[in-house]
Structure 1
Amino acid sequence: MTSDLRLAQDFYHGLLGWEFRPAFHRKEYVVAYKDGAPVAGIGALARSMGFPVAWSPYFAVESADKVSDRIRERGATVAVGPIPFGPGRVAWAADPMGAPFGIWEGYTEPEWPVRRGPGFPSWIELRTRDIFAATIFYSEVLGWDTEPPERCDVRYTDEQVLVRIEGRTVGSLRGGALESAPDPRIRPRWHVYFCVEDVPAAAERAAASGGEVVTPPEETHHGWESTLRDRQGGLFTVMSREN
């Protein structure tokens, strides 16, 4: 979600090498491509819909109506939708602790999850106050708890919950150990990571393009990382290798 589509396209083209194509017959929405494969969507909807400029994950569901009902039943909020959007239906929601996310019912680009490498999303991570409550919420809402283990595996390891779908680790929920008390200092949100070849160089490009280096490049056990903001305040992390 962004407030200026042209500024966003210029920034991410220079930083990640993305090219863009209009999508869903909407002038305010584009899909970003890297090496011919789709990697993300950018919509100039933040201002008109009252959303903050931010990256958010979308979870594919069979029925947006049923999942929206589950969200509400568990004390969370469906802010918009479900509404028709291109070849499907979409709803924007927030979990009980306030982290925004989307749900998508409809056609999904077959190549979307296949390609990996520089310029591609490499990881999504929920940063939340209460990892135990969040795991229960998403498992019940998205059906992780009813899927067979070979299809969906949710497990706690190294102070985070890892989610594997069809054998591929797709993301994590992090907020301290399961037995820990909720941490009031954490502002719950989903955080996205993009892969780049050279993290320090990417941080320099971001700053030169009008963005902000929030966390300077540093070496972690996942490789080099740096957290950045784009020109309109969207927060994300670049990392030097795929998770």
Structure 2
Amino acid sequence: MDKKSAAVSSAGVTSSHEVFGAPCWITLMARNMRDAQDFYGAVLGWRFRRARLGAEGTEFSLALSDGAPVAGIGVVDAALQAPSGWTPYFAVANADETAARIRERSATVAVGPLNLTVGRAALAADRDGAVFGIWEGELIPDWLTWRKSAPAWVHLRTRNAFEAAIFYGEVFDWASDKTGCCQVDYEEDEVVLRHEGQMVARLSSGAAEAAPDPMILPRWHVYFPVADVETTVQAARHNGGEVLARRSTDHGSEATLRDSEGAMFTVTTRG
């Protein structure tokens, strides 16, 4: 660990240098901040606090659950006409080097790396078009608690999970001998990503790049743990959301929802 990382850890804040390659944050880009806060406040019980990103005029807020930060919400520039959606960010030791790796493998870095208040970030898309972010710098103070409770996990639905695992493995040094890297396992035709033994992501095949149904387009998908799926479903419907799918498994129940602006996410009782 370098001196900068050691200083960050001693201050009680984990650095991306220590947990590189792991999902470290999730952000919703919404068209209307107030509408997004009203929806997720009612559906997931979140409260919100304004935050600084370093760029003047940038509207951003932290979503809090029981006082702890669980996600970020930003506002899409209206001129871009981009859809609302959730994006996972992965911790990296060097944003510039990681961006170069992404480009070298015929994928896209759409924005950045940008200098923000406590780190550097970039927004990218893999070779199948699934959008993700990279983050270099400080993580939230209690990142280990966030990892266990904010998203239950993130899930990449892609054309070929094994090819995608090679791409992300080369970009993020998954399954390397570096301290803090993620481990990769293959279970029931899926690629499972673990950090210190805990599942943090799954990659599965079957997405279709030209599918008209957004449910089967290549994408990173966010799961949130809830105490009761049915109660959450009813709250989503009551606040302008839509139920896209329901499923029961041996591990619990889940529902894939679309929020009031169209961003998709899944709620699950599986921890």
The TM-score normalised by the length of structure 2 is 0.81
Structure 2: distance between partners of 1:131 and 1:124:
14
For the pair 1:45 / 2:73, whether they are aligned, the reply is no
Superposed displacement of residue 150, structure 1: 7.7
Structure 2: distance between partners of 1:159 and 1:46:
39
Superposed displacement of residue 48, structure 1: 4.7
The equivalent position to 1:86 in structure 2, one of 117, 121, 125, is 117
Superposed displacement of residue 49, structure 1: 4.6
Counterpart in the other structure of 1:231: 260
Counterpart in the other structure of 1:66: 97
The equivalent position to 1:4 in structure 2, one of 10, 17, 32, is 32
Relative to its length, the structure with more helix (as a share) is 2
Checking the alignment, whether the CA contact within 8 Å between 1:14 and 1:205 is kept in structure 2 is yes
Q: What amino acid is aligned across from residue 30 of structure 1 in structure 2?
A: S
For the pair 1:144 / 2:174, whether they are aligned, the reply is yes
Structure 1: distance between partners of 2:250 and 2:79:
40
Counterpart in the other structure of 1:179: none
Counterpart in the other structure of 1:191: 221
For the pair 1:32 / 2:63, whether they are aligned, the reply is yes
User: SS at 2:41's partner residue?
Assistant: helix
Structure 1: distance between partners of 2:228 and 2:183:
32
Q: What amino acid is aligned across from residue 9 of structure 1 in structure 2?
A: Q
Superposed displacement of residue 46, structure 1: 5.2
Checking the alignment, whether the CA contact within 8 Å between 2:208 and 2:217 is kept in structure 1 is no
1:144-163 alignment, distance < 5 Å: 144-148=174-178, 151-163=181-193
Change in 2 beyond 3 A, CA 1:147/1:21: farther
Checking the alignment, whether the CA contact within 8 Å between 1:121 and 1:195 is kept in structure 2 is yes
Counterpart in the other structure of 1:104: 135
Checking the alignment, whether the CA contact within 8 Å between 1:150 and 1:167 is kept in structure 2 is no
Q: Which runs of 5+ in 2 are unaligned?
A: 1-28
Superposed displacement of residue 183, structure 1: 5.5
Structure 2: distance between partners of 1:151 and 1:14:
36
Alignment root-mean-square deviation, CA: 1.9
| 1:39-65 CA-partner distances (Å, limit 9, x unpaired) | 101101253555321111000111110
Structure 2: distance between partners of 1:218 and 1:4:
30
Structure 2: distance between partners of 1:127 and 1:114:
26
| 1:195-228 CA-partner distances (Å, limit 9, x unpaired) | 111111111110000111111x432233111110
Moved more, 43-52 or 80-89: 43-52
1:203-242 alignment, distance < 5 Å: 203-215=233-245, 217-242=246-271
Checking the alignment, whether the CA contact within 8 Å between 2:173 and 2:181 is kept in structure 1 is no
Q: Which runs of 5+ in 1 are unaligned?
A: 177-181
Superposed displacement of residue 132, structure 1: 1.5
Identical pairs, percent:
49
Checking the alignment, whether the CA contact within 8 Å between 1:28 and 1:45 is kept in structure 2 is no
Structure 1: distance between partners of 2:239 and 2:140:
30
Structure 2: distance between partners of 1:46 and 1:123:
28
